[in-house]
Amino acid sequence: MKIAFIGVGRMGSRMASRLLEAGHDLSVYDPYTPAMDGLKQQGALAAGNPAEAAEGAEIIMLSLPSPSTFADAVIGETGVLTKVSPGAIVIDFSTVDPATTKDIAAQCARKNVYFLDSPVSGGVAGAASGNLVLMIGGSEEIIERARSVLSVLSSRIVHCGDTGAGQLTKLSHNLLTAINTIALGEVLSVSVKAGADLNVLCEVFSAGLAGSKMLDYLPKTLFTEERPANFAIDLMHKDISLCLKEFSNYSMPVGQLVMQIYNAARQKGLGSKDSTSVIELYEELVNLRLAQN
């Protein structure tokens, strides 16, 4: 199948690589030209803009960092819709707001182009291994048309509902993830400062109701010497902002508090670090570094 992939950064490059390995004919575009080099070596065709990448493609995939970059890539002067063929499917893996998603989907429909919003969960490791969870909004019929390609990228495809439902689900997911991260940071930091053993805490928490996937994730990120940045604080901050805006008519005191903590992390220059490094604020407050023996 002829596929275009727009936005081949940390996530997109790994997803695109899997499509190449599966034998698909792939054209790619990223505004940061060096991001395409590795995929070119695998056989991808590097395009000069989104329109050039999309020309003649049956499926156009996007993985971009913000609503504005996503919208520009689809409806901008050199956007996908200027060259896309009628009947093609646009699949957006970015995390953006439902309103932008619905607007772009409507503009695609006017060009007889199908649209699916499909934000993902699973991080860089999931993108590389093909074990992402896809939260899809849109027509079930179009999902079935794209399923064979989506299955190269995902171990679980969840149809969330109509257009925008995938984005709503992802924003809720990421807000809850951020809340869980902050809660773990506060409890682990003060517990260890008070004399508890971090290894014992993690063992007991994981075996009980306090266990979570985020707790299982911390040994791969925060508890390491390197603290690799898999999903930046800046990106989580963007997702929390979008979520709280979407839910602005409702009382969300915990969500608002978490937002302020992420604001503080960015103000301290931690924005490019992994989202779990927001916990460094608590480490500073109690003067310790969380690290497993």
- What residues are annotated to the active site? 170
Q: What distance in Å separates the CA atoms of residue 66 and residue 96, rounded to the nearest whole number? A: 6
Both tokens of 41, joined, read 């070596």
Both tokens of 183, joined, read 């809660």
Task: Give φ, ψ of 27 to 5 degrees.
Answer: -110, 140
Contacts of 265 (CB under 8 A, 6+ apart): 233, 237, 271, 277, 278, 280, 281
Distance of CA 88 to the CA centre of its chain: 23
Both tokens of 290, joined, read 């969380």
Burial of 276 (0-12, 13-18, 19+ CB in 10 A): buried
3-state secondary structure 28-82: EECCCHHHHHHHHHHCCEECCCHHHHHCCCCEEEECCCCHHHHHHHHHCCCCHHH
* Residue from 43, 25, 39, 92 nearest 64 by CA: 92
